[in-house]
Amino acid sequence: MGKYQVAVVQNKALQQGKPEESASSAGKAEAPEKVSAQEASGAFDRNIRSQVRQVMELLGGMGRFVKPGQRVLMKPNLTGPAAWEKGVTTNPALLEALIELALEAGAAKVDVGDGTGSIHIGTRKVMERCKIADKARRLGAELLDLNVGPMELLKVENGRILESVKVNRACLEYDVVINIPVLKTHFITEVSLGMKNLKGCIPPVEKRRFHDIGVNQAVADLNRVFQTSLTVVDGIIGSEGLGPKEGKPVGMGVILAGENVLAVDMAAASIMGFEPEKIEHIRMAMEDGIGPSGIGEVEILGDSIEKVSRSFQRAVPSIPDKGQAKIHNFGACSGCIGCAAITISRLEDMGFFAEDPERRVEIVIGTRIPKDGSWRNGFFMGNCAQARAEGRRFIRGCAPSALDAANEILRCFQIEESPDV
């Protein structure tokens, strides 16, 4: 029997993520063929509520994690203003169900907090656009922007890349923190699950620093000094391909949960068709001893991984090499390739190239950039490209944030607008 328990429950009625189908699958004979949007949404939410309760009962109930009188912080994934149906942000109905269970367990207070990566939009606006704010307010939960407010400096003993890291003090003051990531791929970290979701608890300056020095190592170090009480992965609708924001939705109908974030991430990665020990930040966390040292130490409760698994498309981008945008790749890692491709995609989406047919952007990436290379309007991207930048435009990071990269290019063209992601 494994030391670390992870509960997995799949509800096939939720795989399509469409309230209409969920309502019909709730399946009463007298139900009309057509139901109102409100009725369909209500049935969908009830299915999620029931599924969340099943998952928690497999782990011994919410009372195992939340005691009467405790203050609870729910930490969803609100990386940007994308709808949950795209598999990018946490499903509001899942969050609502967890808040209800925490209150039933006797929590004195349950609040919702995150620090969005879309800093230019702001966490509170993202909460509104993702419909998280409505659910939270209905249940009396306060909304916290973890990008602002007092920060606590945590020392990282013998860290891989960090000596210390700032974490929003609110995350440390609650008795219980429940981590609610989404089942999705990521162009730098391969998967974005519970460990990666804790980046939302650090301020923007630290988010940028993680990209500057190496995201995988920094995420592993963060999880050594800041750990949550429970991780619940929203796999109702996940996303595959060029995540975390540009991926394609994948209907899974799965929710999984456990006390140890590494064990949950290992199970979730396995469900996505990855080998957990080959994912850099997960492997590092395994070596650092924050959880199981192998998937064999994880006991799966409920549905088996084999029953619910699906091979997710990896975050491998196509590289534009013609027209107004071109990427020159000289042996770059997947992180910088992904960042470059997403940057171009976001510029295209906001009409950057269409507004002026004469605009040209060239991005140069890799470890083997030739010394005699000459690129008009070239942006050297990624720490490995710094040696060849030689006074030219350079975008720091390992790998850089695609949003920061797009904003840097826009500034060079004297454009104040930012991508709406």
Other CB atoms within 10 Å distance of the CB of residue 195: 29
Average pLDDT value for residue range 268-292: 98
Q: For residue range 97-136, what is the model confidence (pLDDT) as tens digits?
A: 999 999 999 999 999 999 999 999 999 999 999 999 999 9
DSSP element (H, E) containing 354: helix 352-355
Decide if pLDDT at 22 tops 50.
no
pLDDT at 142: 98
DSSP for residue 55:
H
3-class DSSP state of 255: strand
pLDDT at 75: 98
Mean per-residue pLDDT over the chain, rounded: 91
Average pLDDT value for residue range 245-254: 94
Please state, in angstroms and rounded to a whole number, the distance separating the CA atoms of residues 130 and 143.
13
Name which of 324-328, 372-376, 396-400 the model is least confident about: 372-376
Please state, in angstroms and rounded to a whole number, the distance separating the CA atoms of residues 412 and 362.
13
CATH code of the region 321-412: 3.40.50
* Domain 4-30+37-308 identical in fold to domain 321-412: yes
Please state, in angstroms and rounded to a whole number, the distance separating the CA atoms of residues 289 and 268.
19
Cβ distance 315 to 338 under 8 Å? Answer: yes
Q: For residue range 63-82, what is the model confidence (pLDDT) as tens digits?
A: 999 999 999 999 999 999 99
Decide if pLDDT at 16 tops 90.
no
Q: Is 181 left (phi over 0), alpha (psi -120 to 50) or beta?
A: beta
Give 36's pLDDT tier (boundaries 50, 70, 90): very low
* Burial class of 395 by CB neighbour count within 10 A (0 to 12, 13 to 18, 19+): buried
Q: For residue range 189-229, what is the model confidence (pLDDT) as tens digits?
A: 999 999 999 999 999 999 999 999 999 999 999 999 999 99
- What's the token pair of residue 253? 């109908």
| CA quadruple 79, 198, 180, 298: dihedral, nearest 10 | 130
Please state, in angstroms and rounded to a whole number, the distance separating the CA atoms of residues 100 and 23.
22
pLDDT at 31: 36
Give 30's pLDDT tier (boundaries 50, 70, 90): very low
CATH class assigned to 4-30+37-308: alpha beta
Average pLDDT value for residue range 313-334: 85
Average pLDDT value for residue range 2-31: 65
Q: Look up residue 404 and give its amino acid.
A: D
Give 241's pLDDT tier (boundaries 50, 70, 90): very high
Please state, in angstroms and rounded to a whole number, the distance separating the CA atoms of residues 291 and 195.
12
Average pLDDT value for residue range 171-197: 97
Decide if pLDDT at 29 tops 80.
no
Strands 361-366 and 378-381: parallel
List 154's β-bridge partners, or say none. 165
Give 17's pLDDT tier (boundaries 50, 70, 90): low
Closest CA to 400 of 368, 360, 364: 364
Q: Domains of the chain: which residue ranges? A: 4-30+37-308, 321-412
Percent of the chain with pLDDT over 70: 93
